[in-house]
Amino acid sequence: MTATSEPLLPAEPLVPELERRPTFYERWRVRLDADPRVHRLWRWLAPLLVTLFAGILRFWNLDHPHAIVFDETYYVKDAWSQWHLGYPGTWPDQADARFADGESDIFTTNPSYVVHPPLGKWIIGVGMWLFGADSSFGWRFSVALFGTATVLVLYFVARALGGSIVYASVAALFLAVDGLGIVLSRVSILDGILAFFIVLAFWFVLLDRRRHRERLAEAVEARTVDGIPPAWGPVFWNRPWILAAGAAIGAATAVKWSGLYVIAALGIYLVVDDALTRRRLGVGYWPTDGLRQGLVTGVLFVPVAFVVYLASWTGWLVTDGGYDRHSADADPATGFWSWVPLSLQSLWKYHQAIYASNIGLTTPHTYASPAWQWPLLIRPTSMYYLGSKAGENGCTVGGHGCAEGITSIANPLLWWAAVIAVIYLAWRCFARRDDGDWLVLTGVIATYVPWLLYPDRTIFQFYTIVILPFMVLAMTTLLRDLAQLKTHRGFALGRWATGVFIVAVLAVSAWYYPVWTAIQVPYDLWYLHFNRSGWV
């Protein structure tokens, strides 16, 4: 060392990193990403397994209880009389027990006034036609099938959003094990069928979006001269997935009118998304250009939805006995609308009556829950309950005896976490401007916000089954981002936290499964599930 040399500073002690063995999941992900054969296998196996699991949860012991529960009193009996008459007929008083005992032919030809379109009841009727009207499995078969199919379609939605096999599987798994998804697949009412068609419409929109963007980019590139994009882009009429989405959302509206909100929301999304895509591609007059394509998209989207909706009323139109079937005969339209067939004029009058009934429905109900309560999970709906003393109905427990019931409590852990995830998703939409996030948020808004406009209407917590698929997509997005978090030493803290959360959701669902499916348990155990005021 020379006199002018700087003294050597002691080096900082090196902290040897602990050698960490990869987890089973990490080894599996490496194989999944690196081996095309493994990827191809799991591309088919993952949706098959999660759908099979969902089907087991929905179809197991589906015929229990062998009784008309909750609003099955409307939809099951209306479905069966509609299957025979073409329209819902009336039933005698106290018909539920007689129907369950096999007296399925006691309906009359007098029309029943119903406030929902016919498609959902036609679908319920298919199961009864296949397995018999005296079979509780038969009258719940269709809703269980559609509920299971919703899990599969949600998987494809998650994949189409650009999610991995793992992302899509987790989203589908959450829907498969949630209480709303299970109960609304095991009780023969309309909302589970409605959810299926709404999720299907979103999947079709995603399939169209991918192809439309590819074609638009190719067309704009072909019209670009000397690096300058064109002032106007192309207008595409050949968009079969838009036709399919229109048909799906028309079917949703033919189950319940709340599908109309989704038609409006998806229509706005399609126009805005196309315009912003043209902007990114450099099209000069992109706002007006997007509006041109939007008008064409509307022509493709809306009429087919209307045709599907109108077709659902075929039974009412081709028979003479339906409610208000000849209401226009004595007072037909004059002037411009005089050309409309009397049957369609009568259908319009019937729709006016339905609208008035739906808007003015303020009948008090024990389990009514306004929409502002839904995120808080304040008042789930009890759809069935049977208490038994020792020696009754197979109960062998003394004390308070046994209980069995069906209550549409969402998985509380998943539900409240998903509410937080929706808020996170809203932030993410503006922070990262991800197109997929905007579509999921559109789904949440379309299926929830309109209900806030009716604070006095009699509505129920289980209506949230149509919101749930979009909430679990938001939850899965939050978990995917969380899984990226690591400590400064490289420990995959986020991934472990995500895994723990998923396991916890499964454990909570296992705990609540008896009160979702009317499994008989000791009353004290049954009551432990209802640890909040308003849940019983």
Q: Give residue-wise pLDDT tens across range 462-480.
A: 999 999 999 999 999 999 9
Q: Two tokens at 277?
A: 């895509």
Q: What is the pLDDT of residue 19?
A: 53
Q: pLDDT by residue (tens digit) across 448-460?
A: 999 999 888 899 9
Per-residue pLDDT for 2 more than 60? no
527 burial (CB, 10 Å; 0-12 / 13-18 / 19+) is: middle
Give the pLDDT mean for 357-385.
Answer: 90
Determine the residue type at 468. L
**Number of C-alpha atoms within 13 angstroms, CB side, residue 390?**
5
Question: In angstroms, rounded to a whole number, what is the distance separating the alpha carbons of residues 17 and 37?
Answer: 34
392 burial (CB, 10 Å; 0-12 / 13-18 / 19+) is: exposed
Per-residue pLDDT for 8 more than 90? no
**Number of C-alpha atoms within 13 angstroms, CB side, residue 500?**
7
> Is residue 4 very low, low, confident or very high in pLDDT (cuts 50, 70, 90)?
very low
Question: In angstroms, rounded to a whole number, what is the distance separating the alpha carbons of residues 414 and 422?
Answer: 12
By three-state DSSP, how is residue 406 classified? strand
Per-residue pLDDT for 352 more than 50? yes
Q: Two tokens at 1?
A: 């060392």
Q: Two tokens at 486?
A: 């690591």
Question: In angstroms, rounded to a whole number, what is the distance separating the alpha carbons of residues 117 and 255?
Answer: 6
Sequence-ordered list of residues with C-beta below 8 angstroms from that of 527, at least 6 positions apart, any chain: 403, 536
Closest CA to 535 of 415, 389, 448: 415
Determine the residue type at 251. A
Identify the residue with better confidence: 532 or 319: 319
Phi then psi dihedrals of residue 521, to 5 deg: -135, 165
Sequence-ordered list of residues with C-beta below 8 angstroms from that of 127, at least 6 positions apart, any chain: 138, 139, 140, 141, 142, 143, 145
Pairing of β 521-522 and β 382-388: unpaired
Per-residue pLDDT for 200 more than 60? yes
Per-residue pLDDT for 17 more than 60? no
Closest CA to 213 of 230, 232, 234, 196: 234
Give the Cα-Cα-Cα angle 458, 462, 464 (nearest 5 degrees): 100
Closest CA to 116 of 360, 313, 349: 313
Q: What is the pLDDT of residue 30?
A: 78
**Number of C-alpha atoms within 13 angstroms, CB side, residue 113?**
11
Beta strands of 390-460 (E only): which ranges? 402-407
Give the pLDDT mean for 280-297.
Answer: 94
Q: pLDDT by residue (tens digit) across 400-416?
A: 899 999 999 999 999 99
C-alpha torsion sign, points 133, 134, 139, 141: negative
